[in-house]
């Protein structure tokens, strides 16, 4: 019989800019209600961040113990930007403590957990619940989610089709949430600006023909003139899905913000679905429609922007597999 577990792991994932059950023992009050806008509309105070010392692990866990009586038992993140501890609340119930070094990612995950997920029917997917938070400390106290990581490769072919259908159902509901796009920059203008941002950061890692190809593919952004931003996870892939044998679980919402819906499918389009096209059909069956942008120039542009980001970010952070993925997409 397969082992079942409780997971909420912060996976080291690329910047979303290029993709860009209640626990009674913990308090659930949120210390501050935020008006969190999407990623391109958030201004990060770099000077303030630079002046703020980075806390060590003991300081973070001591703060959580003092605030919420959370007992941090082990650190479970693989060494990415966020730090995550598994532990227990005062009544012994499992939970996770997550520390964000950047206010932007804290606000994005806090908003998704506090505002977006409660609007989606619980029976559609297991998902983390926000138990408490501190913006000042960059902390989120989050409920555990049942299941094993889908990326572990232990699920049967039949289970994978069920999983992909359920991921489609959940994403459909996420994309249909009523949200207000407060970004003054239209999506059609934002797309070429994102590309230029990566080109400016490239520091020689992009070839001239890759820049020309990407610029031509995205053009002036008018491809997206009739599209709108929706609530997006922005890192929607098997490493952020859990499976308990019956129901899907979705984790890691630190990149969640309003975006073109294609960015939630790009990882699948260039990865899992390339290897198993039938899984895409199961996903789309759950999603309930065949998006008109999925196989046209808009998806090509999204994949290109994703790939450019993979090459630049992956090179700068020594993520060779990410660089290889980006280059393969651009080939």
Alpha helices, DSSP H, located in the chain: 46-51, 57-68, 103-111, 157-175, 187-201, 208-218, 266-270, 272-275, 277-287, 297-316, 320-330
| Pairwise CA distance, residues 18 & 199, whole Å | 12
> Is the pLDDT confidence value at 74 over 60?
yes
- Domain end call among 115, 147, 179: 147
pLDDT at 81: 83
Same domain, 174 and 132: no
Render the burial of 23-46: b for 16+ CB within 10 Å, e for the rest: bebbeeebeeebebbbbbebeeee
| Mean pLDDT along residues 74-94 | 92
Out of 113, 132, 147, a domain closes at: 147
Residues 288 and 204 in one domain: yes
Phi, psi of 177 (to 5 degrees): -60, 145
Q: Are residues 139 and 155 in the same domain?
A: no
Same domain? For 199 and 282 the reply is: yes
> In terms of domains, do 158 and 225 share one?
yes
pLDDT tens track for 232-278 = 999 999 999 999 999 999 999 999 999 999 999 999 999 999 999 99
Residue 1, domain member (yes or no):
no
Same domain, 85 and 170: no
Total domains, the chain: 2
Sign of CA dihedral 294, 310, 105, 149: positive
The pTM (predicted TM-score) of the whole model is: 0.84
Q: Which residue has the higher pLDDT, 53 or 112?
A: 112
Q: Does residue 284 sit in the same domain as residue 298?
A: yes
pLDDT digits (tens, 9 = 90+) for 141-198: 999 999 999 988 888 999 999 999 999 999 999 999 999 999 999 999 999 999 999 9
Domain that includes residue 202, residue range:
149-330
63 phi/psi in degrees, rounded to 5: -65, -45
**38 with 173, same domain?**
no
**What one-character DSSP code corresponds to residue 289?**
S
Inter-residue contact 39 to 108 (CB < 8 Å): yes
Query: Rounded to whole angstroms, how far apart are CA atoms 271 and 10?
Result: 20
* In contact, 79 and 318? CB cutoff 8 Å: no
Whether residue 282 sits in one domain with residue 164: yes
Mean pLDDT of 50-73: 90
Q: What is the DSSP letter of 164?
A: H
Bridge partners (DSSP) listed for residue 148: 243
What pLDDT is attached to residue 31? 27
């Amino acid at each position: 019989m397969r082992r079942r577990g409780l997971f909420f792991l912060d996976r080291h994932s690329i910047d979303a800019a290029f993709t860009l059950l209640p626990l009674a023992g913990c308090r659930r009050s949120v210390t501050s209600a935020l008006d969190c806008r999407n990623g391109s509309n958030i201004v990060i105070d770099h000077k303030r961040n630079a002046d703020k010392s980075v806390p060590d692990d003991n300081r973070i866990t001591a703060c959580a113990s003092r605030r919420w009586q959370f007992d941090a038992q082990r650190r479970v993140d693989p060494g990415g930007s966020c730090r995550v501890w598994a532990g227990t609340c005062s009544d012994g119930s499992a939970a996770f403590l997550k520390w964000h070094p950047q206010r932007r990612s804290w606000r994005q995950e806090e908003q998704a957990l506090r505002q977006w997920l409660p609007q989606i029917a619980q029976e559609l997917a297991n998902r983390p619940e926000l138990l408490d938070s501190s913006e000042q400390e960059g902390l989120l106290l989050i409920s555990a989610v049942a299941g094993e990581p889908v990326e572990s490769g232990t699920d049967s072919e039949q289970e994978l089709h069920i999983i992909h259908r359920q991921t489609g159902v959940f994403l459909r509901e996420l994309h249909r949430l009523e949200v207000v796009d407060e970004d003054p920059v239209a999506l059609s203008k934002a797309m070429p600006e994102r590309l230029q941002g990566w080109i400016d950061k490239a520091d020689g890692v992009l070839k001239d023909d890759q820049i020309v190809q990407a610029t031509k593919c995205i053009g002036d952004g008018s491809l997206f003139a009739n599209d709108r931003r929706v609530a997006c996870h922005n890192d929607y892939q098997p490493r952020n899905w859990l499976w308990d044998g019956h129901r899907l679980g979705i984790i890691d919402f630190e990149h969640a913000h309003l975006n073109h819906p294609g960015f939630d499918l790009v990882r699948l389009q260039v990865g899992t679905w390339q290897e198993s096209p039938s899984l895409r059909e199961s996903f789309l069956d759950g999603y309930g429609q065949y998006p008109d942008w999925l196989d046209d120039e808009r998806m090509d542009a999204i994949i290109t922007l994703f790939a450019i980001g993979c090459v630049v970010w992956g090179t700068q952070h020594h993520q060779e597999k990410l660089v290889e993925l980006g280059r393969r997409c651009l080939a």
